[in-house]
Chains A and B, each alone.
Chain A
Amino acid sequence: MSENEKEKIKALIYCVKSLCNRLPDKINLMEVCGTHTVAIHRAGIKQLLCQKTRLISGPGCPVCVTPNDFVDKAIWYSFQPQTIVATFGDMFKVPGSYSSLAEAQAQGGKVHLVYSPLEAVELAKNNPDKKIVFLGIGFETTAPAVAYSILSARKANLHNFMVLSGHKTVPEALEKIAAHPLLNLDGFILPGHVSCIIGRKPYEFLSGVQHLPGVISGFEPVDILESLCMLYKQIVEGRCQIETQYRRAVPENGNRAALAIMQEVFLPKDSEWRGLGIIPKSGLALREKYSDWDAEVVYPSQIPKPRQHKGCICGAIIMGLKEPEECPLFGNLCHPEHPIGPCMVSSEGTCGTHFSYQIRGRLNESSVSA
């Protein structure tokens, strides 16, 4: 680290601490994005905050907000003859109502892990006798790439590739969270990657309608510190705006090419979020002209009624209403090797992060504090 960077960190820590002391009252801030949750824990940022600030992890882990019936459908496909489920690795261990894709694979289900949706298109090309069902999971960050894969399949006249879309959009969920009476939020650290695609403007309703400030943040520790300073400053000064700290990556109006391709392929639909229920227009369905690549249309699944895990409070944790430590299963029956809820599976899930960086380490702050 250069001397310059060291100085910047020192100045930001000073800024965070002094602004924190000037806060009029206790405040609740939500970091929406799972990558931020991990970064905050990895850098130990909570150790720098005063007692007045509570940082709450939001619903920004795509795997965590995916409801059980989506996983159940994926498992159903994996057991169908001549069918392969292609998915990003983070869905692999997520438990559905009855089991996970990992368990399905061990029992003979066909699951193929990919790092990009285009790999699933290749898989379809190389296996013309198989149907490839790609699990479209993720926010605005991932949806354009999946849209592109559908366009590629259409161009190649490839009809054994299809997408089960579980895509969700962030601003609609924030609308629900911002208005939640029990959460009592005072501001948001807004997601950096999602904002690279959608830009700053779609969040303006937060400041305009909900009167909550927000800062779009990068992912380095200095980015998060700077974003906290910007948020504190707004609160101390009584301002309420959507600001961008992550200016090096987030264009004001988003990534036009990515937005265009997303709009070409998808249209908004009502979507169920674990913990948040059904949120109007918060999901992305394939438009009718692309229905040949829509698994729900060309290859509908038949699954039993989904069920929830007894005792699992992932829903309340995703909402920010409860901390993982308040769950009776946390670290006890539910841990990363044997996850019961999705928040423990994903490396960016709130429970997984809390487990890895706090409980597992049994960090005794007093014994190691500087």
Chain B
Amino acid sequence: MKVQSAPNLKTDSKAKELIKLAHGSGGLLSRELIEKVIKPKFGNRILDRLEDAAVLFLSENLLAFSTDSYVVRPIFFPGGNIGKLAVCGTINDLAVVGAQPLAISCGFILEEGFSFETLNKIIDSMQKMASQTGCQIVTGDTKVVEKGGADQIFINTTGIGVVRIKSSLSIEQIQVGDELIVTGTIGDHAASVFVARQNLPMTSSLESDCAPLFGLLQPLWSLGAKIRFMRDPTRGGVAATLNEIVRGRDFGVEITESLLPIKPEVRGICELMGFDPLHLANEGKAVIVVAPESTEIVLGLLKQHPLGSDACVIGKIVEEPKGLVYLKTTLSTKRIIDLPVGDLLPRIC
């Protein structure tokens, strides 16, 4: 198992390469951190001004606005790291409401003694994800807390996007008979982070699905009202997303066990640990509710993108039982799918 951890922080000769409390003081070292580490990577015309607020020109558009904080442990896991996760998470929150991400803010909370080398790697992958999606990191903040005051690094990202889809995506638009599509295999992120937790004597080739979904979802926006609703099933997994869809509604959801795309490794980990793959977090997947006449075209569009090659229908909106999600098992019996109890895996994102 390859798990990257922060290098040994104890040697004096390396002290220069470590974050000190003064890097968050607002003084000279803060300036140095921004000029030498952050600006060279994130640098763009708006950020470079280093003003108190980024000033954006957005004309008269409908805007989407979203924020999220990231505390994942370990900070490097197969398929990603906390920085990649933070930028992808915000991009995805914007993309599933039909918005094109434009500008992202980034707040770091660093633990004293954190290495610049690791910070650089994290910032690199943040920039890579942002530029891949055509958006910029335009403002940010760095705080340093004393050793033990935080666990290595926490990141907050907030994003602004311009809504490009012509219709409104909302649970209100959902009708009985609509079909449910998931854009790929489920549970990969939670399962891979779980395996990467250092104290687990287990090896696996599994990687997190952490990825920006904008490129995958953008082609669907031309379909307008045929796309009823989208959500990225992060914490709580597909089960939580489906329960949010039906809660208090006049319809229910039926999903079919044999249709669920689940990697054998994820299935194995779930069997071993007693998890339900439907409860596991995803970081590069979307659940899409679509009018049945458009299912084929949506699947066709999704499959043209590398992130959508495993996209498939997993179920449909049904009249009964109202407000509930149920699964048709391989034995054709029925089981209610509810929200997971408690915190299955703390600090998964």
Contacts and interface: CB of A to CB of B under 8 A. Distances in A.
A36 to B, nearest CB: 13
Given A114-B199, A356-B341, A48 B333 contact: yes
Contact of B334 (A114, A225, A368): A368
B1 to A, nearest CB: 13
A42 B336 contact: no
A118 B332 CA distance: 42
B336 A360 contact: yes
A312 interface: no
Contacts of B334: 44, 47, 363, 368-370
Interface of A: 1, 5, 9, 13, 38, 41-45, 47-48, 114-116, 118-119, 221, 225, 336-337, 347-348, 356-358, 360-364, 367-370
Interface string B300-343: 00000000000000000000110010100111111111100110
Contacts of A1: 258, 330
A42 B275 CA distance: 12
A310 to B, nearest CB: 24
14 contacts: A1-B258, A13-B332, A42-B335, A43-B329, A44-B329, A44-B331, A47-B333, A118-B201, A119-B199, A337-B341, A361-B338, A362-B324, A369-B334, A370-B334
B333 A43 contact: yes
Contacts of A45: 331, 333
Given A115-B199, A368-B321, A9 B330 contact: yes
B215 to A, nearest CB: 33
Contacts of A363: 321, 324, 326, 334-336
Contacts of A367: 320-321
Contacts of A361: 324, 326, 335-338
Interface in B75-130: none
Given A38-B274, A337-B342, A361-B326, A43 B201 contact: no
Nearest to B200: A115
Contacts of A369: 334
Interface string B195-212: 000011110000000000
Contacts of A362: 324, 336
Interface string B180-204: 0000000000000000000111100
B330 to A, nearest CB: 6
Given A114-B199, A225-B331, A370-B332, 14 more contacts: A43-B333, A44-B333, A115-B202, A221-B329, A336-B342, A337-B341, A357-B335, A362-B324, A362-B336, A363-B324, A363-B334, A367-B320, A368-B326, A370-B334
Contacts of A337: 341-342
Contacts of B335: 41-44, 357, 361, 363
B246 to A, nearest CB: 12
A368 B335 CA distance: 10
A48 B333 CA distance: 8
A342 to B, nearest CB: 15
Contacts of B331: 9, 13, 43-45, 48, 221, 225
A360 B338 CA distance: 7
Contacts of B326: 361, 363, 368
Contacts of B329: 42-44, 221
A362 B243 CA distance: 14
B333 A364 contact: no
Given A9-B330, A347-B274, A357 B199 contact: no
Given A360-B338, A368-B326, A116 B201 contact: yes
Interface centre among B199, B200, B320, B337 (most CB of A within 10 A): B199
A67 B20 CA distance: 50
Nearest to A355: B341
A361 to B, nearest CB: 2
Contacts of A348: 274
Contacts of B332: 13, 370
Given A119-B201, A361-B336, A367-B320, A221 B341 contact: no
A348 B274 CA distance: 9
Contacts of B200: 115
| The 6 residue pairs across chains A and B that have the minimum distance between CB atoms | A361-B336, A44-B333, A336-B341, A47-B333, A367-B320, A363-B336
Contact of B330 (A43, A48, A347, A370): A43
Nearest to A35: B274
Contacts of A114: 199
A182 B214 CA distance: 63
B245 to A, nearest CB: 16
A13 B320 CA distance: 25
Interface centre among B199, B321, B336, B337 (most CB of A within 10 A): B336
A148 to B, nearest CB: 13
Given A9-B331, A118-B201, A367-B320, A357 B336 contact: yes
A368 B252 CA distance: 10
Contacts of A356: 338, 341
A119 B333 CA distance: 40
Contacts of A119: 199, 201
B113 to A, nearest CB: 20
Interface in B228-287: 258, 274
Contacts of A42: 329, 335
